[in-house]
Chain A
Amino acid sequence: MLLTLVTPNKKLFVDLEVEEVQLPGHRGELTILEGHSPLITTLDVGVLKFKSKSEAVIKQYAISWGYCEVAGEQIKVLAETAEDFEAIDKARAEASLKKSEDILANSKDLSLDDSMKYMAKIKKAQNRLSH
């Protein structure tokens, strides 16, 4: 299977040979192995894991919204952000988490849209800190 991972800022991999891929699908965690039937799904905030053929280690990336298209050998993942867990700036994630939590807790007349936005931010920050 060949994995392609693309974000608006960077092309992370193109046609990387992998053995299995785990994704945060729309209906929950999803593992894709050889011979998976064709699928299009949106991805939630979560962790993308994959085992490449050349290296034995499992790589993990924190991703936020995206979608995944499986067609034959090809797995195409487009994500808004994708960060290697080893390279995540923990301090920044923590600061953002704290800020959003403060805003949610302290301001009373937040519109529904705004509170949704901050909840999404909290979710993202927690995801980035989950390792």
Chain B
Amino acid sequence: MASLKDIKTRIGSVKNTQQITKAMKMVSAAKLNRAQDNIVNLRPYAKGLLGVIADIAKTNRIQHPLLDQNDNPKRVLMVVVTSDRGLCGGFNNSINKYAEDYYKDNKNKYEALDLFIIGRRALDYFNRRDIESNDSILNLAKDISYEFAAEIAEKLIKGFTEGSYDEIRFIYNEFKSVLSQELNAETILPIDLEQSMFNQNSEEKFSEDLIFEPAPEQIIDVLLQKHFAVQVYRILSESIAAEHAARMTAMDNATTNAKEMINTLTLTFNKLRQAAITTELTEICSGAEALK
């Protein structure tokens, strides 16, 4: 049986852990707030961009390589978005599992199925399983900026226009609420305009003598690239928000568990102490009895 001193040290160490998890929870909560702000702030920009693309595409019936739907893709790039750090529950695991299963199931179906990895967790996971990744990006966590996302987007779009891939698909955690993240697999290239603008009817807003500078074909080219960059930024922000939410929940659970453990340990400690006192008292009493 553990001695009083052992239990005391044990309580101390659990208390320390509890303090750490508590602090981590608070840090995650603050970061989550910021990540959520990012998503909210992006919305008007994304909406405006999509609106004008829709307007131009509708009035001019534009064909563009980024818009060509491909029913039978041959070369697919899978972008797997995870975090750099752990301690966030099943956040990374579910993504890795899904990506691995998908990779194994579909590898032979396509001419090429490549991985583009974001986040150290996925990189380590696939390295351990000897699955080669095409490219990877780490250290995303801090404060992801739009410029950073735009650079990634540029890289991806280059692979697409040069013909290395004819479909780009993202696998990431979508931020639903603080308590739930949802795994999402989304094809974002080629861009499916139909799907993203189901309730926009702005046709009559455009008059015939609208001036375009430069020509509509060129404008739409730039706008589609920016639209893609915005999508990448949105997905990364969602993933980061989801990560912090997952970590917050995980750390909250850990704190509760630590509290329970401290309670049990304190109870055992008190019982033992009481037992020790009782034994001592009996000894003193019987000693005094014997002297009479």
Cβ of B41 within 8 Å of any chain A Cβ, yes or no, is: yes
Provide the residues of chain B in CB contact with A7, threshold 8 Å. Answer: 45, 146
Cβ of B230 within 8 Å of any chain A Cβ, yes or no, is: yes
Cβ of A106 within 8 Å of any chain B Cβ, yes or no, is: no
**Could you tell me which residues of chain A, from 36 to 89, have a CB within 8 Å of some CB in chain B?**
37-42, 65, 67, 69, 71, 76, 78, 80
Contact B213 A11 (CB under 8 A): no
Contact B213 A41 (CB under 8 A): yes
Provide the residues of chain B in CB contact with A69, threshold 8 Å. Answer: 52
Contact B222 A42 (CB under 8 A): yes
Contact A67 B52 (CB under 8 A): yes
Nearest B residue to A8, CB-CB: B146
Cβ of A108 within 8 Å of any chain B Cβ, yes or no, is: no
Contact A39 B45 (CB under 8 A): no
Contact A78 B233 (CB under 8 A): no
Question: With A40-B219, A71-B205, A80-B146 in contact, is A8–B42 under 8 Å at CB?
Answer: yes
Nearest A residue to B237, CB-CB: A8
Interface size (A, Cβ < 8 Å)?
22
Contact B41 A10 (CB under 8 A): yes
Cβ of A92 within 8 Å of any chain B Cβ, yes or no, is: no
- Bound together, the chains give a CA A40 to CA B230 distance in angstroms of 20
Contact B209 A8 (CB under 8 A): no
Contact A11 B44 (CB under 8 A): yes
Could you tell me the dominant secondary structure of chain B's interface residues? helix
Provide the residues of chain A in CB contact with B222, threshold 8 Å. Answer: 42, 65, 67
Contact B213 A26 (CB under 8 A): yes
Cβ-neighbour of A8 out of B206, B207, B211, B233 (below 8 A): B233
Contact A40 B207 (CB under 8 A): no
Q: Mark B141-163, 1 if CB is under 8 A from A, else 0.
A: 00001110010000000000000
Contact A78 B48 (CB under 8 A): yes
Cβ of A9 within 8 Å of any chain B Cβ, yes or no, is: yes
Cβ of B49 within 8 Å of any chain A Cβ, yes or no, is: yes
Provide the residues of chain A in CB contact with B49, threshold 8 Å. Answer: 78
Contact A8 B41 (CB under 8 A): yes
- Bound together, the chains give a CA A53 to CA B148 distance in angstroms of 37
Question: With A8-B146, A67-B223 in contact, is A37–B45 under 8 Å at CB?
Answer: no
Provide the residues of chain A in CB contact with B230, threshold 8 Å. Answer: 8
- Bound together, the chains give a CA A80 to CA B154 distance in angstroms of 15
Cβ of B56 within 8 Å of any chain A Cβ, yes or no, is: yes
A36 to B: closest C-beta gap in Å: 9
Provide the residues of chain A in CB contact with B56, threshold 8 Å. Answer: 40
Provide the residues of chain A in CB contact with B212, threshold 8 Å. Answer: 39-41
- Bound together, the chains give a CA A25 to CA B211 distance in angstroms of 12
Cβ-neighbour of B41 out of A9, A40, A41, A78 (below 8 A): A9
- Complex A-B: 10 CB contacts under 8 Å: A9-B145, A10-B41, A11-B41, A38-B206, A42-B213, A65-B226, A67-B222, A71-B205, A78-B49, A80-B146
- Extra A-B contacts (14), CB below 8 Å, given A39-B213, A40-B210: A6-B44, A8-B42, A8-B146, A9-B146, A37-B209, A38-B206, A40-B212, A41-B211, A41-B212, A41-B214, A65-B226, A69-B52, A78-B49, A80-B150
User: Which B positions have Cβ atoms within 8 angstroms of A?
Assistant: 38, 41-42, 44-46, 48-49, 52, 56, 145-147, 150, 205-207, 209-214, 219, 222-223, 226, 230, 233
List of 5 A-B pairs having minimum Cβ-Cβ separation, nearest first: A41-B213, A8-B146, A39-B211, A26-B213, A38-B210
